[in-house]
Structure 1
Amino acid sequence: MFPQVIINDNGNTYTFGTNNAARGNRVDQKIFQIQNDVTINLGKHKISTGISYQLIDLLNEFTFNPQGTFIFNSLPSFYNSSPIGTITPLGVSSGSGLPTAYSLGYTLQPGRTVTLDKAKFVQFGVYMQDEFFPTEKLKITAGVRADVTAFLTNPQNNPAVPGYNFQNAIGELEKYNTTNTPRTTVLISPRVGFNWDIKGDRTLQLRGGSGIFSGNIPFVYIKTGFINGLNEGAINAPTAAQAAAYPFNPDPRAYIPTDGKMAANYELNFIAPNFKLPQTFRSTLGLDAKLPGNIIASIEAVYSSDINAPYYRNANLNYNTSTTSPDGRLKYTSARINPNITGAYVLDNISKGSQFFLTESISKQFSKDFAVSLSYTYGESKDVYPLRSTIASGAFNAIQVVGNPNVPVKNYSDYDLRHRIVGSLNYRISYAKDKMASSIGIFFEGAQQGRGTYAYGGTGNVNQDGSNANDLIFVPQNQSQINLVASSTATVEQQWDALDRFISNSKYLKNRRGQFAERNGILLPWYYQADIKFSQDFSGLLLKNKNTLQVTVDIINFTNLINKNWGVYNTIANTTPITALSATTFQVNPVLLQRGEFIQDNGLNSRYRIQVGVRYSFN
């Protein structure tokens, strides 16, 4: 194993070494389930009821960043971290290079490289549904479900924790202990739906429904509550002054304490006393029509909103020491309430996310062997807290914010769809007395590629909350609104000219001058791609019965096979266009900004692929 190294050099970022979430990561679940369903027909009512019981035994081996991560602010500083006299690509090392940040997580469990946690819980559900047919044309379905989750394992008690003071998002006092798990509460999920065959001949049908649906949060998030200072320690040196105590060492174990004692500095993970498992309200309304020419047309609207969605906040952030920075964002003057606690992450609930989708589709079955379809979907998804990591600290620090990271802000979701067009064509022909058949299928998709965010690069930690990667950029109206510092390759004037031009040429940023960028504020360009599938069937060739040998050829991104410039995805050229050297000083790289806002993504999705398959079916 080798530490992870991140080098920020003049707008470029170089990353190598062991991924900080890869070492020894294992999740194992054993599930015992009993379920019994009963259906009773009572005249116009079809009643279904049942119970479900699950016993889940969860085992998780994981420690985040067990090999350590070094961050350097330039290539020379990294090369000069080598022993004095070492020959490097930039010359002979002076031995004086130091990281500007260092972090490490380590287990306190003897004989292990990562922490092992076990948890056991039960889920019990009772449900009932009634399908009611008041007329031959109308079916109404109504039901209700009740779910209970009980945790049979509690985290260890850390006796030091009740003596610590913590805060909520606005600085009010909170107290915690490390033994909390979610309370055993009953989640009620009612729902009702209908299907109305308006003419009675299935040529015009109106359908819809509304309800509350309960879902399982991945229980690895609950498992984070077992990180309590007794089983893991952490080193977090986010500033150059602190990181100077940890010069680069290629040995991942170099800074792990060897005395086996409880760590002086550690992370805590709590579960809010009133935390509930997530639910979603969803409502749908659709109309299906059979048009002349055997054409089927549909339109459907779906609206969803979050109930008790999970999110993390850091109860060790000292809101009462916050102030306002020159650009107007909240900034901490002393981030940690308890200096030895690297973070106290609370799993809590919030109910602000929403999603809306409208889909229109049309299809025609010309014959049993020939069909086409076309659909268009408009979508808008917003959330306040996408869980981008199963690690509490990772999930918290991955949310780009302005100022207070404990106050989630509703913005576009990572999965905001916006516009999507999908078409398909399928044709099959049989011959040789049905012993052979050839098929072709074409699938086309055109859609906007998603969203992106502009945040500061570097280790400036602009809001001084201890995280270098979560600060949304301020988009300057003019040069007086950004404190640029000359670099070895560009003067302040050259940097401003490049940044001003970049902002003016960005459809998004030019409308945000004098304001902060938003999380997922950038809408990526459209992409277009077609896939083709050929299949050839040979039936009854080996035996008298109709066994079938099928050979298939899939050409994924056939558009790129035709033309290398087609079927290509675009990505944001630089999601960190401004480098924060400190909380108030910045640099940009004019060469990188000259590339523009979007560049071609040369990954696998932008390349054609051919897959050949053979299948033999016994009939």
Structure 2
Amino acid sequence: VGTEAADLKYNPGKFKYNLFGVRLGGPVIPNKLFFFGSFEKDEDVRPGTTYTARLANQTAGGSITRVLASDLDALSLYLKNNFGYETGPYQGYDHETPATRALLRLDYNLNDNNKISLRYTHLDSQTDVLLSNSSSLGVGSRRSTTNSLNFQNSNYIILENIRSIVGEWNSRLSDNMANNLIVGYTYNDESRDSRGSFFPLVEILDNTTNYTTFGFEPFTPNNELRYKTFQLQNNLTWYMTNHYLTFGISAEKYESENVFFPGSQSVYVYNSLADFYTDANAYLTNPNRDTSTVTLRRFQVRWSNIPGQVKPIQPLKVIYAGAYAQDEWQVNRKLKLTVGLRVDIPFFEATGYKNANADALSFRDETGAAVKYETEKLPDANPLFSPRLGFNWDVYGDRTTQIRGGSGIFTGKPAYVWISNQIGNTGVLTGFEQLDNTRQRPFNPNPDRYKPTNVTGAPASSYELALTDPDFKFPQVWRSNIAVDQVLPMGLVGTLEFLYNRDINGIYYINANLPAAQTTFSGVDNRPRWTSNRINSNVSNAIVLKNQNEGYSWNLAATLEKTFDNHWFGKAGYGYGVSKNTVDPGSIASGSFFGNQISGDPNNAPVSYSNAYGGGTPGHKIFLGLSYRAEYFNFGATTISLFWGGEANSNFGYSNYSYTFSGDLNGDGGTNNDLIYIPRNASEMNFEQYTSSGRTFTVAEQIAAWNAYIENDEYLRRNRGKYAERGAARLPMVFRADLSFIQEVFANFLGKRNSLQFRVDVINFGNLLNKDWGVGEKFTYGSNNNVQPLIARGADSQGRALYRFRNTGTTLNTKPLTDDNSLNDVWQLMISLRYNFN
């Protein structure tokens, strides 16, 4: 692994991958019964984080965070000596993924017309994962970046244990009719574990953004997810002269037992490390005090509301049934049409919990109308129709020009956790308290300190709600595409394709407990402002899952390929795509709502660029692939492949970002999600003088720095006088090349050709040649999918939005981008040796 990304050093840490495997197959009864089995055991070890704490003589940047090693060392020792809590290291530790896999397959030929197969799959695995960045607990952005550094024992372990058995029966009923039946059962265990002991989660802020985190991971307490899936599918096919008919049914029964108990460890958020020490020392002096000497930014706690129930189980049972028919019609030698219709109906068992107190409350929907909800009500059994039409036209009948495409509606299952959120958040299974800017909850190392000592099973006194709109339907999208495949001169084959998707039943969320904004900011940034963000004071929020039909995406792609006579093959392509929606839904209702970046009313989020983790709007992509393969003398073969491509850099899974304030500018209760206003000039800026790192930053300095920053950022420069748009700031393209070399030596064994394969793969080959090649860029003030050079300070005396320009030590950084130095930015080389039996 390389160690240089441009002028930055990269510490690759330790990588280790061990794999042991065996495969065996053959006939049990010749020509009748066959078996195949495989077993693998592997261990993948890689760095947990490559970020390091800053020494006193170092400058933050690259993989060096702003967090001082001396602060973390002192904090870890303080917690151990005074509370017996082990934080674990904050750098230099590994993440491990051990896995055991097994597969057994039996194939049985009953007769010439019937074949049966049975397949069993087994997986036991667990993976170390960095703690969550979600702001639905604490204020978020906790993971190790240049801004923050957390301790190892605040991370979590997720299990992936699977047991699956599937049977398949293929029958030929007649010369023109066949049937395929599949029956299966799968059990999944995706529960969590932790390396650390159960201790309150504490987030330490510095200038409103996370500095460090210790304690139990926010969403891991008793986090258990086990689910069973029974499936049945039957396809009957009927072959006619010009028609290929398919009639089918499918049924899936899903049952899950989910325990989701976030915040049950108690969550404390402090504005500074000094504030935490002050509060913790006060506890050591007087453990029974009921008021803190400092103001906490946030306190949260969740408790079980059922007597004697330590783990509040959220049961979910769903039957998803469907029927479909399809006709592939060969109209003539040149044209084939495919017409189909599918109907799906989901049935939810009534496993929700009714909170009569909440049902009696009045809330507010996105139109401003008063509304009530049934806390136990799950989605109705609405039929979902999916008609489709496709075609393939061989224009001249010689496959030199083919036009293909189609249009139709496609239905998908939602992530069932979106529904089970409601079962666990009605105020019946659990209670929840959130206090902002409070002194009422001084620090206590006992996670149960502020939970009720007695619960009766009656609805809790305070709670948060996750609800589902009565008219909610499973996601549906209208999808269309058109493509041309053309044989071109010189043996080239070209493809041009356009795809378009439009939401029919898309996803979005509202907070029905958010009142209308009480006022607006004055000046050019006149967004709504809340001085109170709860309609019902005992409900922290009421997040409602709803449908929308405004999201869309499209993609245009072109490729050229050619197979040469001298063992060469080449392919090149270009694509551009756009994806927009009103929200990128995550696994937690409140996290999805409060993580959505907005500049106006969060209950009426506009359609904007998707900036989801691992996805987002695609943008430009270009690639070129070349390969050469030659076999010689029936002895061996040599294959050389080169792939070169360019696309927007991805930093920790994000390529496009939103310019937001750090903190909560508009007072709606969501942190780090308020989009900034991009000023036309200095007269539209409103900075606050402040002192940090022993230096005072004047208003004039901040104005000059912010103006320079805007001019250095193409997106901001082009959009002065507007609010930043969600996901519209995009990382620059990065170009990287991968090289592969394979040498095979053939040998005959029992009449079959086996091969010994020696392989060398170099990822980011260009960086091996030159440390400046293959290196992406990242946003200097980037965190998750946000860029936050400005710190929200609320409203000034004239009601104008007030803020600070974030300092980096004793300077104000005016460069939006800096070189990245992740694993993707340095070369990686892997050598492998394999013997293939046939």
Q: Same fold (TM over 0.5)?
A: yes
Change (3 A) 1:84 1:57: closer
- Does residue 598 (structure 1) correspond to residue 796 (structure 2)? The answer is no
Task: Write out aligned runs for 1:429-448 (5 A).
Answer: 429-431=630-632, 433-448=633-648
- Does residue 246 (structure 1) correspond to residue 441 (structure 2)? The answer is yes
Kindly provide the amino acid, as one letter, of the partner of residue 573 in structure 2.
S
- SS of alignment partner, residue 490 of structure 2: coil
Task: Write out aligned runs for 1:340-351 (5 A).
Answer: 340-351=538-549
Match of 1:383 in 2: 581
CA distance in 2, matches of 1:618, 1:519: 53
Change (3 A) 1:78 1:497: farther
In the TM superposition, what is the alpha-carbon distance from 1:110 to its structure 2 partner?
A: 5.7
Match of 2:828 in 1: 609
Kindly provide the amino acid, as one letter, of the partner of residue 532 in structure 2.
S
Kindly provide the amino acid, as one letter, of the partner of residue 408 in structure 1.
A
Match of 1:139 in 2: 336
Task: Write out aligned runs for 1:277-296 (5 A).
Answer: 277-296=474-493
- Does residue 428 (structure 1) correspond to residue 640 (structure 2)? The answer is no
Match of 2:471 in 1: 274
CA distance in 2, matches of 1:123, 1:216: 9
Q: Between 577-586 and 447-456, report the one with greater CA deviation.
A: 577-586
CA distance in 2, matches of 1:552, 1:112: 56
In the TM superposition, what is the alpha-carbon distance from 1:478 to its structure 2 partner?
A: 4.2
1:500 to 694, 704, 707: 707
CA distance in 2, matches of 1:233, 1:533: 56
Match of 1:89 in 2: none
Match of 1:117 in 2: 314
- Does residue 451 (structure 1) correspond to residue 656 (structure 2)? The answer is yes
In the TM superposition, what is the alpha-carbon distance from 1:441 to its structure 2 partner?
A: 1.8
In the TM superposition, what is the alpha-carbon distance from 1:607 to its structure 2 partner?
A: 2.5
- Does residue 518 (structure 1) correspond to residue 743 (structure 2)? The answer is no
2:671 to 468, 481, 504: 468
CA distance in 2, matches of 1:552, 1:113: 53
May I ask how many residue pairs the two structures share in their alignment? 603
TM superposition score normalised by structure 2: 0.69
Superposed CA deviations along residues 325-366 of structure 1, whole A, max 9, x for unmatched, are 222111223211110001111110001111111111000111
Match of 1:325 in 2: 521
CA contact (8 A) 1:555 1:610 kept: yes
2:454 to 248, 259, 277: 259
CA contact (8 A) 1:81 1:247 kept: yes
CA contact (8 A) 2:709 2:814 kept: no
CA distance in 2, matches of 1:105, 1:539: 64
Change (3 A) 1:85 1:216: closer
CA distance in 2, matches of 1:121, 1:64: 24
In the TM superposition, what is the alpha-carbon distance from 1:286 to its structure 2 partner?
A: 0.5
- SS of alignment partner, residue 500 of structure 1: helix
- Does residue 586 (structure 1) correspond to residue 777 (structure 2)? The answer is no
Superposed CA deviations along residues 285-335 of structure 1, whole A, max 9, x for unmatched, are 10001123321111001111111111111111112x532222211122321
- SS of alignment partner, residue 223 of structure 1: helix
Change (3 A) 1:456 1:246: same
Change (3 A) 1:187 1:617: same
1:217 to 401, 404, 414: 414
CA distance in 1, matches of 2:758, 2:311: 47
- SS of alignment partner, residue 252 of structure 1: coil
In the TM superposition, what is the alpha-carbon distance from 1:400 to its structure 2 partner?
A: 0.8
CA distance in 2, matches of 1:3, 1:482: 40
CA distance in 2, matches of 1:533, 1:577: 41
CA distance in 2, matches of 1:70, 1:288: 60
Task: Write out aligned runs for 1:398-409 (5 A).
Answer: 398-409=595-606
2:223 to 10, 18, 25: 25
Kindly provide the amino acid, as one letter, of the partner of residue 375 in structure 2.
T
Q: Which runs of 5+ in 1 are unaligned?
A: 87-94
Superposed CA deviations along residues 242-275 of structure 1, whole A, max 9, x for unmatched, are 2x11233444333333323553210111110100
Match of 1:568 in 2: 775
Change (3 A) 1:153 1:600: farther
CA contact (8 A) 2:712 2:814 kept: no
Kindly provide the amino acid, as one letter, of the partner of residue 428 in structure 1.
R
- SS of alignment partner, residue 688 of structure 2: coil
CA contact (8 A) 1:10 1:588 kept: no
In the TM superposition, what is the alpha-carbon distance from 1:557 to its structure 2 partner?
A: 1.7
Change (3 A) 1:85 1:155: closer
Change (3 A) 1:219 1:367: farther
Kindly provide the amino acid, as one letter, of the partner of residue 816 in structure 2.
E
- SS of alignment partner, residue 127 of structure 1: strand
Q: Which runs of 5+ in 2 are unaligned?
A: 1-197, 285-291, 650-654, 782-786, 796-800
Change (3 A) 1:127 1:601: same
- SS of alignment partner, residue 225 of structure 1: helix
Task: Write out aligned runs for 1:107-186 (5 A).
Answer: 107-109=304-306, 115-186=312-383
Change (3 A) 1:249 1:531: farther
Match of 1:551 in 2: 758
CA contact (8 A) 1:267 1:341 kept: yes
Superposed CA deviations along residues 4-27 of structure 1, whole A, max 9, x for unmatched, are 433332476313224322344332
Q: Between 264-273 and 327-336, report the one with greater CA deviation.
A: 327-336
- SS of alignment partner, residue 708 of structure 2: helix
CA contact (8 A) 1:313 1:405 kept: yes
Q: Between 587-596 and 297-306, report the one with greater CA deviation.
A: 587-596
CA contact (8 A) 2:731 2:777 kept: yes
In the TM superposition, what is the alpha-carbon distance from 1:114 to its structure 2 partner?
A: 5.3
Match of 2:137 in 1: none
Kindly provide the amino acid, as one letter, of the partner of residue 423 in structure 1.
L
CA distance in 2, matches of 1:595, 1:23: 41
Kindly provide the amino acid, as one letter, of the partner of residue 500 in structure 2.
Y
Kindly provide the amino acid, as one letter, of the partner of residue 234 in structure 2.
N
CA distance in 2, matches of 1:371, 1:289: 17
CA distance in 2, matches of 1:140, 1:234: 56
- SS of alignment partner, residue 22 of structure 1: coil
Task: Write out aligned runs for 1:201-216 (5 A).
Answer: 201-216=398-413
Q: Between 544-553 and 261-270, report the one with greater CA deviation.
A: 544-553
In the TM superposition, what is the alpha-carbon distance from 1:427 to its structure 2 partner?
A: 1.6
- SS of alignment partner, residue 396 of structure 1: helix
Kindly provide the amino acid, as one letter, of the partner of residue 806 in structure 2.
N
Superposed CA deviations along residues 470-495 of structure 1, whole A, max 9, x for unmatched, are 21122233445444222112122222
CA distance in 1, matches of 2:445, 2:280: 10
Superposed CA deviations along residues 539-576 of structure 1, whole A, max 9, x for unmatched, are 22776632223233322222222222221222211111
In the TM superposition, what is the alpha-carbon distance from 1:435 to its structure 2 partner?
A: 3.0
CA contact (8 A) 1:499 1:590 kept: no
CA distance in 1, matches of 2:820, 2:232: 48
CA distance in 2, matches of 1:159, 1:66: 24
CA contact (8 A) 2:595 2:670 kept: no
- Does residue 396 (structure 1) correspond to residue 597 (structure 2)? The answer is no
Change (3 A) 1:571 1:369: same
